[in-house]
Amino acid sequence: MGTRTFRGATILQFSLQTLTSQLGLLVGPKGFGHYWKTHYADKTFEHLYRWNAFDTAMLIPYFIVMIILAFYGIHRYQLVWLYFKNKKNAAKWSEPPMRFAEGQLPFVTVQLPIFNEQFVIERLIEAVCSLDYPRDRFEVQVLDDSTDETTGVAREIVERYARGFVGMAPQPIVYLHRSNRHGYKAGALDKGLDVARGEFVAIFDADFVPPRQWVMQVIHHFAQPEIGMVQTRWTHLNRNYSFLTQVEAILLDGHFVLEHGGRSRAGVFFNFNGTAGMWRRETISTAGGWQHDTLTEDTDLSYRAQLVGWQFKYLQDVECPAELPIEMTAFKTQQARWAKGLIQTGKKILPRVLKSDAPWHTKLEAWYHLTANISYPLMIVLSVLLMPAMIIRSWQGYIQMLLIDFPLFIASTMSVSTFYMVSQKELYPKSWYKSIIYVPFVMALGGVGLTITNTKAVMEALLGVKSAFARTPKYSVKKKGEKSQAKVYRKRLGVIPWIEMAIGCYFAWTVYYAISTENFFTVPFLVLFVFGYWYTGLLSLLQGRFERSRDPDQEMHEKPYPVGI
C-alpha cells in the first residue's frame, strides 16, 4: 500500500511539474503571450499591406469555393434541424396508419440481384428463405449476371432450397441467369419483373442479411394506396472489423439517420438506396420502369416516382444488416459510383424537378441532394489555392481572418463533425461519445481522402463519359482478424493512389511552412488534408500486400470489369 501511495505521489508531482512548465511556456518570453503580441497585437507594420493583382487572382476563386462549400455545410445543419423539428412525423413500423386485413396479405416478390458474389450468396439466400411471410404469397428471384464461379454456386444453392432439406421446407425460389449485363443491375431487376408475380417487390443486394421479421414490418405501410416505396435503415455486420469499417459505418449512419430522417420527416423527396427497401410494382411501371442511363438507377427511379405523385416512407426503426467494404479500393469504388451516379441523375432529373409543381423547399432540397458531390472538384481547387491564400490572408491581418475565414471554415468544415456526431447520439444515446475519436478521421476520409477518385467520377458524369457498373466486392467477413477472400476479387491499381500520396506530401510541406511561420491556427485544418490523402493512398497501395506475402503462390484473379480506382 505504501509503495502505491509513493508512486501515486510521484506521478502527481510529475504532472504538476509538467503543467507548471507548460503554463510557463504560455506566459514566458517565448510562449503564447509572445506569439499573440508579435502576430496580432504588434501594430508596427499596420496599413503597410497593399492589395495587388496576384492577390486578387488567388483570393477571388478561393472565396468563391469557400462560400459554395459553406452553403453545402450549412445545409448539413439544416438537415439536423429538419430531423428534430419534424420528429413527430417519424414513421414507425409498429404504427402503420392502415393495415391489411388478416389473411389478405398481398403477394410479395423478393429480388436478389447478384454479380460475382460467391462468398455471400448462400448467406443471403438463407436469410431470405427464412423470412416470416406466408409462402403462398411469396417468391424469391435470384437474378444472376455473374461471369465467374458464382453461377454454379448460386444455381446449386437455389436448387437445394427449392427442394427443401432437413429444417427447411421447399421454398418458392427461382434462379434466373442472363448471358449479358445489358443495363447492369437495373437491367436485371427489369428482366425479373417480366416474370414476377408480386404486387410488391422487395430488393436485397448480395451483402445484406434481412432479419426474419423484415417483410411483416414493412408490408402494412403499403395499405395506404398512395405509398409507393418504403426504405429501411442499413446497419453493419462488420462495423468492428477494422478502423476503416468504423469510419465507413459513421459515414453511412449520418446518411441514414439525418439525411433520410430529415428529408422524410419534412415531406420532401428522398431516395430508395438500391437495397433493403420495398416497392409497389405499380409505382415502378407508372414512373417509367427501371432505366440504366445512370449508375444510380435507384435514385433516378425514386425521383421519377415522386414527381408523378407517389409518396415514400422511411422506417428508421427497421434495421437491415449489411457488410461494409473492408478494403480502401473497394470503398473508393463504391463511393465513386455513387458520386458519379448522383451527378448523372441530377443532370437528368433536376430540370424536371425545377419545372414541376413541387414546393420550392422540395426543389431546393433536391438541388442540394443531387449536386452535393460537386464539392469534390471544389476541394481540388481549394487544395491548390489554400497555401497561397493562407500566406496572403496572414499579411492582411487577423481581424479579417476572424470575421471572414473563420465563419466560412465553421460552416464548411465543422458542420461535418456536428452532422455525424448527432447521428451517433441518435443511434447510441448511451455510448455515442465513444465515436468522438473517429470524428477527425471521418472528416479526413469522407471530406478529403475521397477527393481524387470522386472528382474523377464527377467530372466523367459532367462530361457524359459512360462507364460500367462496378459492384463493390463482398467477402463475408464480420470479426476483427478474420481472413478474407479479398485476393480473388482484388484489382491492380492505377496511378491515383500515387497522386494521393503526392498531394499528401504537398500538404505536409504546408504544415511545416505554417509551423515555421508560427501560423499555428491553420495547422489542425492542414493536418486533416495530410492524413486524408496519405491514409487513402497508403491503404490503397498496401492492402493485400501482406496476404500475398503469406501466400506467394496464389494466382491473382483478374476481373473483366474495374474494381479498384
Side-chain half-sphere CA neighbours of 444 within 13 A: 24
What is the phi/psi pair of residue 174, to 5°?
-130, 155
Find the Cα–Cα–Cα–Cα dihedral 305, 308, 314, 318, rounded to 10°. -50
Buried b (16+ CB within 10 A) or exposed e, 88-103: eeebebeebeeeeeee
DSSP state of 374: G
Short-list 383, 505, 385, CA closest to 450 = 383
What cell does 36 get? 499573440
Short-list 182, 120, 180, CA closest to 147 = 180
Catalytic residue among 190, 253, 298, 405: 298
Task: Please list the residues that pair with 278 across neighbouring strands.
Answer: 202, 230
Instruction: Judge contact between 384 and 68, C-beta under 8 A.
Output: no
Cβ neighbourhood burial of 538 (10 Å; 0-12, 13-18, 19+)? middle
Element (H, E) at 500: helix 496-516
* Tally of residues, the chain: 565
Q: How far apart are CA 255 and CA 242, in angstroms?
A: 20
Instruction: Judge contact between 249 and 242, C-beta under 8 A.
Output: no
Short-list 39, 100, 14, CA closest to 514 = 39
Residue labelled with grid coordinates 398481398: 106
Q: How many CB atoms lie within 10 A of CB 215?
A: 21
Q: How far apart are CA 94 and CA 100, in angstroms?
A: 13
Strands 227-236 and 277-280: antiparallel
Catalytic residue list contains 190: no
Task: Please list the residues that pair with 201 across neighbouring strands.
Answer: 109, 279
Q: How many CB atoms lie within 10 A of CB 34?
A: 15
302-to-67, 298, 309, 432 alpha-carbon distances in Å: 30, 6, 11, 32
What cell does 216 get? 411483416
Catalytic residue list contains 55: no
Instruction: Judge contact between 188 and 143, C-beta under 8 A.
Output: yes
Catalytic residue among 145, 205, 300, 405: 145
Short-list 242, 224, 234, CA closest to 99 = 224
- The residues assigned a catalytic role are 145, 298
